[in-house]
Amino acid sequence: MADDLNRDNPVPAQPDDGARVRLPPAASYVPPTRRQLRESETRAKAHETDSSRAADPAQPAPQVEPATASPSASSSGVPATEQPATAMPATAMPATERPTSADDEPLTVDQLFGPSSADGKRGTDPDSGASWPPPPHPSGRPPRRRRLWLIWLWVLVVLLALVGGAAAAVWVMFEDQVRQVLGIELPNDYEGTGNGEAVTVTIVSGDVGGDIATKLEEAGVTMTYDAFYDLLVAQEVQPTFMPGSYPLQKEMSAQSALDVLANPANVATSRVLITEGSTLPQTLASLSEGTGLPLSDFEAVAANYTAFGVPATAPSLEGWLFPATYEFEPGVTAQQILQTMADRMLQSLDAAGVAVADRQRVLTLASIVQKEGGSIEDFPIVARLFLNRLAMTPPMNLESDATVSYGTGGTSIFTTDEERGDASNLYNTYANPGLPVGPISAPGDDAINAVLNPAVGDWVYMVLVNGDTGETKFSVTFAEHEAAVLEWQDWIRANPDWDN
């Protein structure tokens, strides 16, 4: 049978009915040798001749050059011309046999199918349309299809980057909501009654729950604003908070802080210390800090200084608030506080025997003595020195650096030549004769008494010679004064970091 005649060829012979030969898979294809190709062509010609004779018996048989029988034909005993034709053998010699001549060597792809076309295809499978055979791989192995995997890999990387960036953006913008959905919310409240570190929180008149929650958070009492505010909102009966200062601790739970603030017995008396020599701006700031009242309240009240018994000839309330330690009860107003301090100053002036008409002059000179005197013991000498200058003929200018500095808005005892030459500064006692237009600080009882009871002496010059101890040297002559100035300059050079 035909199958028996081509047992060594896995591709069976096809009938000559115009059907195409189905090519074997690329991985199993082995090119034929030259010898096998010639034998296949001989058999094909013989088959064509037989077909022609069958169609036209009158046609003479062509002379076909005898060909060497193939191994399969010899083994069957059938002449080569009588073997069924095949389009092409699909097998080469066994791998164990070695070619004995060039005719026994397998043909290359180019030799068998011709050079590649411009698009790289040598042939086309009529059924699948795929190129056949595939071009050889440089390594001898079939080519690996990697481009598709690389494309998918890049797509995956881009998708991961986009998803990661979107997740990060969502976390930043909606962290609280995400934590709530995932059930990983962070705590917003402390536990317990505090860590032992004392802190004072002041509630002023007009503070509402939000104001108090903010103060507690800023002072470090509660962990967050919401911890206290949400607790207040949840109360069935809203507590009433008395103005005043409350002793609390840092890192208290919102409930612990509420328990303290809601109890009027915990309201502490506001204690404020105003030191001698403080200026009006410094005094008002200390009062606001100590009582919890807004600074703007004190500034607004102080602007109407004549309401406190201060003469209209005074430029401001400066010097008329007595320096001392005050305790104010909860609920006190800025008006009441300033009135208390102004009344205390009038009491001191009255106790010292100062006439009402003379209050402005005494307070002005006493404020200069308070700022220029190095110590309480020096106050009477400083007072005498300035009184001597005013009594000279013609009067000598006071030449106080403290007054010049106050007029420029400063608090230092150092001034520049330009500042000392500015006569438009009504507190400039270098350029203007006599006392300045008003006090430059809040004098205490010692300074007031020094003005009323000055020391006896002819001093007209003085200079600080030790910034740490406040030692001041007083001189009668200018030569003595120059020697003291050199001593002061030496001390300044030895203490460049000293801040007055």
pLDDT tens for the chain, 500 residues: list them. 444 444 444 444 444 444 444 545 544 556 666 677 677 777 767 666 666 665 555 555 555 444 444 444 344 444 444 444 444 444 444 444 455 556 666 656 555 555 554 454 455 555 555 555 555 555 555 555 566 767 777 777 788 777 777 777 766 666 666 666 666 666 889 999 999 999 988 887 678 899 999 999 999 999 999 999 999 999 988 888 887 788 899 999 999 999 999 998 888 788 889 999 999 999 999 999 888 889 999 999 999 999 999 999 999 999 999 999 998 887 789 999 999 999 999 999 999 999 999 999 999 999 999 998 878 999 999 999 999 999 998 999 999 999 999 999 887 778 889 999 999 999 999 999 999 999 999 999 999 999 999 999 999 999 888 888 888 999 999 999 999 999 999 999 998 888 76
The CA distances from residue 301 to 218, 364, 442, in Å, are: 28, 22, 18
Q: Does domain 198-266 have CATH number 3.30.1490?
A: yes
Tell me which residue has tokens 């995400």. Answer: 178
Give the dihedral sign, CA 97/100/102/103.
Answer: negative
- State residue 382 phi and psi, 5-degree precision: -60, -40
pLDDT, residue 160, reads 79
pLDDT, residue 156, reads 79
Rounded CA-CA distance 329/347 in Å is 21
User: What distance lies between CA 170 and its chain's CA centroid?
Assistant: 18
The token pair that represents 297 in the structure block: 């309240």
Gyration radius of the chain's alpha carbons: 57
Rounded CA-CA distance 261/241 in Å is 6
User: What distance lies between CA 467 and its chain's CA centroid?
Assistant: 44
Instruction: Report which residue type is found at 251.
Output: E
Pairing of strands 244-249, 471-475: unpaired
- State residue 33 phi and psi, 5-degree precision: -90, 170
Rounded CA-CA distance 318/151 in Å is 82
Tell me which residue has tokens 């007072």. Answer: 383
pLDDT, residue 127, reads 52
What pTM, to 2 d.p., does this model score? Answer: 0.53
What is residue 7's three-state secondary structure? coil
Rounded CA-CA distance 194/36 in Å is 102
pLDDT, residue 422, reads 92
Contacts 24+ apart (CB under 8 A), 95-101: 99/33
Backbone torsion region of residue 106, taken as left when φ is above 0, otherwise alpha when ψ lies between -120 and 50, otherwise beta: beta
Residue ranges, comma separated, of all CATH 3.30.1490 domains in the chain are 198-266
Cis, bond preceding 394 (omega within 30 deg of 0): yes
Rounded CA-CA distance 251/235 in Å is 22
Rounded CA-CA distance 91/72 in Å is 13
Rounded CA-CA distance 40/380 in Å is 141
Could you tell me where the DSSP H helices lie in 373-427? 379-391, 401-407, 417-420
Extended strands (E) in 303-460: 325-328
pLDDT, residue 29, reads 54
- State residue 256 phi and psi, 5-degree precision: -65, -40
Rounded CA-CA distance 260/216 in Å is 12
Backbone torsion region of residue 128, taken as left when φ is above 0, otherwise alpha when ψ lies between -120 and 50, otherwise beta: alpha
> End-to-end alpha-carbon separation of the chain, Å?
127
